[in-house]
Structure 1
Amino acid sequence: MASPRISNGTNEETNNIISSLNFGTTEALSQIRNLTDVGAMTRYLHECIAYQRGIDLELETLLSSKTDLEKKLNNLSKSAQVLELVKMDSDSMLSNVKTTCNLADQVSSKVRELDLAQSRVSTTLSRIDAIVERGNCVEGVKKALGAEDFENAARFVKTFLEIDSMYKDSGSVEREELLNSKRVLEGIVRKRLGAAVDQRDHSSILRFVKLFLPLGLEEEGLQVYVAYLKKVIAMRSRLEYEHLVEVMEQGGGGSEVNFIGCLTNLFRDIVLAVEENDEILRSLCGEDAIAYAIIELQEECDSRGSLILKKYMEYRRLSRLASDINSYSKNLLSVAVVEGPDPKEIERYLDEILSLTQLGEDYTEFMVSKIRGLSSVDPELGPRATKTFKSGTFSRVVQDIIGFYVILEEFFMVENVRKAIKIDEHVPDSLTTSMVDDVFYVLQKCCRRAISTSNSNSVLAVLSGAMNLLSNEYQEALQQKMMEPSKLFLGGVGVQKTGTEIATALNNMDVSGEYVLKLRHEIEEQCVEVFSAPADREKVKSCLSELGEMNNSFKQVLNGGMEQLVTTVTPRIRPVLDSVGIISYELSEAEYAENEVNDPWVQKLLHAVETNAAWLQPLMTTNNYDSFVHFVIDFIVKRLEVIMMQKRFSQLGGLQLDRDVRALVSHFSSMTQRTVRDKFARLTQMATILNLEKVSELLDFWGENSGPMTWRLTPAEVRRVLGLRVDFKPEAIAALRL
C-alpha cells in the first residue's frame, strides 16, 4: 500500500518536470535522463516528435528564402563598388571646394582693398570739391556784397560754414577772408534792419530778419524781430491811448471815450502779431520762438493794458464812487439816509467793467491755450509764459477793477431791490405783485454778471449780498404784505378785495420759494461751465447751500400764514360740523334708506366749504390752494374723529359712516391735485371696523392679514371703536388679541 503513494508522488514530480522542459537545451537532456516513469517518457516522446516537426518546418522556410538572400547579397556587393566611386567623387569635390574657397578669400581681399581705395578717392574728391566750393564761396560773397545781393551772400556764408565745420582748416587764408566778409555782411544786415525798423518798412524788415538764420544769428534775429513787433504794437496803442486822453480832456461823452475799443485793438494787435508771424518765428527758433514772442508781447499788454484800465478807473472815478457808496451806507443792506449814486449810471459802469474784464479773460484764455498747444517747446518756457499771464501787471489791475465792480454791483443790487419793494403793486392777470418778479430779475441779472467776470471771489461776494437781501429786507417786505387774515370776513363788500390781498401775499411767498430754487439751479449750471477748478466750484456750491435754507424759511412763513388763513375760515364751517353731533348712527333699514335720499350733513358741510374756501382757488397758486384745502381737511377730519368717537353705531350706521367718508374723499379729491385719502385714513378705518358682522372678523384685517393697508389706529383706539357698536359685547372685544 505504501508503494502506490510513493509512485503517485513520483508521478506528480515527473509531471512538473515534463511541463517545465525546454527542448533543445542541455538542461532538458539532463532532466530526460532522470525520468523513470514510462507514461511520462511516452508523452515526452510525442512532444519531442512534435517539436522536431516544428523545427523541420522552420528549416524548410529558411531554405526557401535562400535564393532571395543570395540576390540581395549580390546587390550589396554591387553597392559597395558604387560607394567606392562615390567616395572618390566626394574627395574630388572637397578638393575643388577648398580651392574655390581660397580663391574667394583672395577675391574678397582684393574687393576690400578696392572699396577702401574707392572710399579714399571719394573723400579726396569731396575734399577737392569742398576746396573748390570754398573758393567759390569766398569769391561769391565778395561779388554778392558788391552787388548788394545779400541773400546770395548769406547763402555763400552758410555753405562755407558748413564746409568749414566738416573740414577744419584754421590756418586757411580763404577762411579768414570769408569770416571778414561774414562780419561785413552782419554789419550791413544789422544796419539795414535797424534802418528798416526805424522806417517801419515791414517788407525790408522781413528780408533782413530772414538773413540772420543762414548767418547763424537766429536768436539775435528773433530778439530784433520781436522787439520790432513790440515797438509797432506800442506805437499803435500809444496813439489810441493819446486820442483817448484827448477826448477825455475835451469833455467827450461816454460813447466817444471808447476804452473797450482801445483795449480790444491792443489785444487784437498782439494776437495778430503772433498768428500772422507764426511762419517767420518758427523758421528762426521753432516753437521756442512762439513762446518767447508771447512772453515778450505780454509785457506790452501789461504796460499798455494796465494803463488803459487805470485811465478808465480814473475817468469813471471808481475810487471816489466806491467811497461815496460806502459813506452812503456803511452796510449796503441798511436803510439809506441820503441819496446815493444813480443806479442807472452804475449799471452802465458795470456793463463797461464787465466788457473790459471779459476782453481780458478771452485774451488770456486764447494765449494760454496757444502756449499749451506747443508740443516741442523748452520745458522752462511753457510754465514761464503761463505765469506771465496769471501774475502780470495787467492781471493785478484787473483784480483791482473787479474789486470796484463788486462794490458797484452790490450797490446796484440793493438799490434796485429796494426800489422794487417800494413800488410794489398788483399786476393784472397775475397771482403775485410786481415785487416778486422784479426782485428776482435783479438778483438773476446781478448773479449772471458776476459769473461772467470768471472771478470766483466776485461771484461769492454778489451771492452773499443777494442772500442777505432775500433773508432780510425782501422777507420782511413779504411778511408785511401778509395782513391779519382775521380781517378776511370783516370787510363786508370788500371781502373779495381783502381775500385777493391775502392770497396774493401768500402767493408772493410761495413763488419766491420756487424762484430761490430756480436761481440756485441756474447759478450752479453756469458756474460748472465757467469755473474749471474744483476749489472754485466747491466755494460756490457751499455758498449756494444757504439758498436751500432760505427756501425752507419761506416755506415756514408761508405755512404760518396759511394756518392763520385757515383759522379765519374754519369758524364758518364749524357750526355745520357741530350739527353732526346730534345726528344718530343707530339706524334702521328705513332710516338708512332715507339718508341715502336725503343726506343728513355731508352736503351741508361741502356747501359750507365751497362757500367759504373754494372762491379763493382762482386767487391762489396751485401749490397754495392745495395746501389751504389740506389745512381745511385736517380741521374737518380732526373734528369728525372727535364727534364720531362720542356716538353709538349700528351696523347700518357703520355703513352710513363709510358712505359719508367716501363722499368727503370724492369731493375733496376734485378740489386739489394732491391725494387726500391719507387724510381720511383714520375715519375710513373706523368705518371699516364699524361695518364688521362680528368682533372676530377684525382679525381678518389685522396684523399679518392687513395686506397693503397700514393701520393708523392704535390697538386701544380699535377697541374703543369696536365699543361704539351697540351689538358688540364688551367681553368679545376684550378677548381680542391685538
Structure 2
Amino acid sequence: MEFEQLVELMEQPNNNTQANFVVCLTNLFKDIVLAIEENNEILRNLCGEDGIVYAICELQEECDSRGSNILKKFMEYRKLAKLTSEINSYKSNLLSVGAEGPDPREIEIYLEEILSLTQLGEDYTEYMVSKIRSLTSVDPELCPRATKAFRSGNFSKVSQDITGYYVILEGFFMVENVRKAIKIDEHVLDSLTTSMVDDVFYVLQSCCRRAISTSNINSVIAVLSSAVSLLGGEYSEALQQKMREPNLGAKLFLGGVAVQKTGTEIATALNNMDVSSEYALKLRHEIEEQCAEAFPTPADRERVKSCLAELNEMSCSFKKALNIGMEQLVATVTPRIRPVLDSVATISYELSEAEYADNEVNDPWVQRLLHAVETNVAWLQPLMTANNYDTFVHLVIDFIVKRLEVIMMQKRFSQLGGLQLDRDVRTLVSHFSSMTQRTVRDKFSRLTQMATILNLEKVSEILDFWGENSGPMTWRLTPAEVRRVLGLRVDFKPEAIAALKL
C-alpha cells in the first residue's frame, strides 16, 4: 500500500477498507533497503564505501520525511491525541457516575498497530546501522555521523511521540482489564483459585511482553510500574476482601459439622493468595529473561532490576497476608482439637507392665487426637493448594506439640511410661508425615528427645547421648530442660540429676 492510497482511504468517510499503515511503512523500508542492496556494487566501485554511507544518509532523509509522515497520519487516523486526552480525563473523573472510558478492545487493536510500527522502525534502524558498521574502509568520522542520523532524525522523534501515546494506552488497557477480571471474578470448576488470579496475571504478562517488544526502555519501566501498582493496589485489595470473613468459626463448623461451602470459600481465598505470590515471582522471572535479551546495556538492566525488585516485594506481601489468613483459619480449627489435648493431662504415664500392655490394645488418647485432626483438618486438603495445606497442617502440628510439651512436663513417668511416650510420639510423627509433603520430624524433636531421656535405665546414661556423644542428633532441649525431664522419672534420684555435668 502506497502513502497516497493511505491518505485517500483516510479521506473517504464511509470506506470500510482499513488503512494499513504497517504495510505502507514496510514498503517504504523495503524500497530503501533494496535501493542500497541493488546499488551496493555500483556505489562501491564509483565512490568506495564512503559512497554507500552517503547514499544511506540520503535515503535516510527520505525515510525521515516519508516515514514520519506515515506515523503522523497513523496518529491522526487513530485520533491518538484525542484518545489519550479522553483517557486522562476519564482517569481523573473516575468517581463521577456513569463515566465511560474508551473501549479496551479497540485500544488493543491500536496497541498492536503501534507495536508493529515501532518494531518495524527498530528493525529497519538496526539493519541500516549494522550495515554502516560492517563497512571497513570508511572515513572514521563518517560512521558516527551516519548512525546518529538514524537516532536523531525526524522519524525517530515521531516514533518517540507514538511511544508516549503507547504508554498511556497500554496503562489504560491494563487497568481496565484487571478491573474487569476482578469484577467478573468467579469460581472455576476443578480449579483451586477463582478466575481473577489467572486472568489478572495473564493481562499483566501480555502488557509487559508487549512493552518489552517496543524495545523502548521507558515504555517498559512505565508499564512495569503500572503493573506493580495494580498488584499492590486494586488486586491486593480484592484478594484481601475475600479473606475478611467475620465470625469464621461459626460459619466453618455449623452445629459442630464442617461446612463445605464455607470451607471452599476460605480455602479458595487462601489459594488465591498463595498462587498470586507464586505468579508474581514467575512474572518477575519472565520479564527479567526477556529484558536481558532486549536491553543489553547495564544502565537499562539496572532500571529494570529495581522495578522487578518491587515484584519480589509484592510476592512477599501476598505471602504475609496469606500467613495472617492461615493463622486465622488455624485459630478456628484448634479449639476443636484442644479438648482432646486437654484430656491428655488426666492420662497416667506411671505405668506397670500390665497397664503398658493394655495401652497397646486400648490407646488412651493418640487415636482420639488423630481422629479430631482428621475431622477438623483433613477435609480441607482437597480444597487447598499443596503449599497451603502443608502450611496449615504444620501450624496445627505446632499447636499440638506446644500443648503436649507443657502437659508432659507436668507428669510423672515410670520407665515404661517413657516407652509409652516414645510410642505415642512415633505414632503422631508417622500419621502427620502421611498428611504433608514437608518433613514433620523436626516439629516433634523436643518430644522425641524427652521420650529418649525418660526411657533411660539410669541417670548417667544421658551422657552417652550428650555433648561429643550426641552423634548426628542435635539437642533441642537445654541442659536445664534435660535435668527437668530427668526429674519427671519417679525412680531417678534428684541428687544424681544434680550431680550431672551437662
In the superposition, the TM-score normalised over structure 2's length comes to 0.97
Counterpart check, 1:675 vs 2:464: no
The aligned residue for residue 463 of structure 1 is: 224
- Structure 1 position 494, deviation (Å): 7.7
The aligned residue for residue 62 of structure 2 is: 300
The aligned residue for residue 295 of structure 2 is: 531
The aligned residue for residue 611 of structure 1 is: 375
The aligned residue for residue 420 of structure 2 is: 656
- Structure 1 position 658, deviation (Å): 0.4
**Residue 431 of structure 1 aligns to which amino acid in structure 2?**
L
The aligned residue for residue 208 of structure 1 is: none
Whole-Å separation in 2 of the counterparts to 1:549 and 1:393: 41
Within a 5 Å distance, the mapping from 1:541-690 to structure 2 comes to 541-690=305-454
Counterpart check, 1:698 vs 2:462: yes
The aligned residue for residue 102 of structure 2 is: 341
Counterpart check, 1:731 vs 2:495: yes
Whole-Å separation in 2 of the counterparts to 1:493 and 1:676: 28
Q: Tell me which of 40, 43, 51 is aligned to 1:281.
A: 43
The aligned residue for residue 406 of structure 1 is: 167
Within a 5 Å distance, the mapping from 1:118-197 to structure 2 comes to none
The aligned residue for residue 269 of structure 1 is: 31
User: SS of the residue aligned with 1:329?
Assistant: helix
**Residue 366 of structure 2 aligns to which amino acid in structure 1?**
V
Would the aligned equivalents of 2:87 and 2:172 in 1 still touch at CA under 8 Å?
yes
Counterpart check, 1:714 vs 2:475: no
The aligned residue for residue 87 of structure 1 is: none
Counterpart check, 1:439 vs 2:200: yes
Whole-Å separation in 1 of the counterparts to 2:83 and 2:415: 83
- For structure 1, list consecutive stretches of 5 or more residues without a partner in the other structure: 1-238
Would the aligned equivalents of 1:424 and 1:434 in 2 still touch at CA under 8 Å?
yes
Whole-Å separation in 2 of the counterparts to 1:611 and 1:493: 9
CA 1:545 to 1:374, structure 2 compared with 1: closer, same or farther past 3 Å?
A: same
Would the aligned equivalents of 1:483 and 1:502 in 2 still touch at CA under 8 Å?
no
Whole-Å separation in 1 of the counterparts to 2:139 and 2:3: 35
Please give the per-residue CA displacement for 1:100-126, whole angstroms capped at 9, x wherever unaligned.
Answer: xxxxxxxxxxxxxxxxxxxxxxxxxxx
Whole-Å separation in 2 of the counterparts to 1:657 and 1:418: 56
Would the aligned equivalents of 2:9 and 2:17 in 1 still touch at CA under 8 Å?
no
Q: Tell me which of 517, 520, 523 is aligned to 2:284.
A: 520
- Structure 1 position 242, deviation (Å): 2.1
- Structure 1 position 330, deviation (Å): 3.3
Identity of aligned residues (%): 82
- What's the RMSD between the two structures over aligned residues? 1.5
**Residue 312 of structure 1 aligns to which amino acid in structure 2?**
F
Whole-Å separation in 2 of the counterparts to 1:640 and 1:648: 14
Within a 5 Å distance, the mapping from 1:48-67 to structure 2 comes to none
Whole-Å separation in 1 of the counterparts to 2:288 and 2:93: 27
Would the aligned equivalents of 1:585 and 1:648 in 2 still touch at CA under 8 Å?
yes
User: SS of the residue aligned with 1:679?
Assistant: helix
The aligned residue for residue 324 of structure 1 is: 86
Whole-Å separation in 2 of the counterparts to 1:726 and 1:254: 97
**Residue 278 of structure 2 aligns to which amino acid in structure 1?**
E
User: Is 475-484 or 496-505 further displaced after alignment?
Assistant: 475-484
Whole-Å separation in 2 of the counterparts to 1:264 and 1:255: 19
- Structure 1 position 335, deviation (Å): 9.4
- Structure 1 position 710, deviation (Å): 1.1
- For structure 2, list consecutive stretches of 5 or more residues without a partner in the other structure: none
In the superposition, the TM-score normalised over structure 1's length comes to 0.66
CA 1:273 to 1:328, structure 2 compared with 1: closer, same or farther past 3 Å?
A: same
User: SS of the residue aligned with 1:431?
Assistant: coil
Q: Tell me which of 460, 471, 477 is aligned to 2:238.
A: 477
Would the aligned equivalents of 1:569 and 1:613 in 2 still touch at CA under 8 Å?
yes
The aligned residue for residue 60 of structure 1 is: none
Whole-Å separation in 1 of the counterparts to 2:93 and 2:234: 13
The aligned residue for residue 451 of structure 1 is: 212
The aligned residue for residue 360 of structure 1 is: 121
The aligned residue for residue 137 of structure 2 is: 376
Detail structure 1 runs of 4+ shifted over 3 Å in the superposition: 252-255, 334-337, 490-494
Would the aligned equivalents of 1:329 and 1:336 in 2 still touch at CA under 8 Å?
no
User: SS of the residue aligned with 1:248?
Assistant: helix
Structure number with greater CO (CA < 8 Å, separation at least 6) is: 2
**Residue 635 of structure 1 aligns to which amino acid in structure 2?**
F
Whole-Å separation in 2 of the counterparts to 1:253 and 1:261: 18
**Residue 518 of structure 1 aligns to which amino acid in structure 2?**
K
Would the aligned equivalents of 2:25 and 2:117 in 1 still touch at CA under 8 Å?
yes
- Structure 1 position 508, deviation (Å): 0.3
- Structure 1 position 274, deviation (Å): 0.4
Please give the per-residue CA displacement for 1:62-94, whole angstroms capped at 9, x wherever unaligned.
Answer: xxxxxxxxxxxxxxxxxxxxxxxxxxxxxxxxx
CA 1:521 to 1:331, structure 2 compared with 1: closer, same or farther past 3 Å?
A: farther
CA 1:287 to 1:615, structure 2 compared with 1: closer, same or farther past 3 Å?
A: same
Please give the per-residue CA displacement for 1:219-254, whole angstroms capped at 9, x wherever unaligned.
Answer: xxxxxxxxxxxxxxxxxxxx9222211111102567
- Structure 1 position 383, deviation (Å): 0.7
**Residue 536 of structure 1 aligns to which amino acid in structure 2?**
D
User: Is 579-588 or 335-344 further displaced after alignment?
Assistant: 335-344
**Residue 442 of structure 1 aligns to which amino acid in structure 2?**
V
Whole-Å separation in 2 of the counterparts to 1:441 and 1:362: 27
Would the aligned equivalents of 2:356 and 2:417 in 1 still touch at CA under 8 Å?
yes
User: SS of the residue aligned with 1:360?
Assistant: helix
CA 1:336 to 1:618, structure 2 compared with 1: closer, same or farther past 3 Å?
A: farther
User: SS of the residue aligned with 2:345?
Assistant: helix
Whole-Å separation in 1 of the counterparts to 2:257 and 2:430: 32
Whole-Å separation in 2 of the counterparts to 1:519 and 1:624: 21
User: SS of the residue aligned with 2:2?
Assistant: helix
Would the aligned equivalents of 1:491 and 1:498 in 2 still touch at CA under 8 Å?
no
CA 1:331 to 1:254, structure 2 compared with 1: closer, same or farther past 3 Å?
A: farther
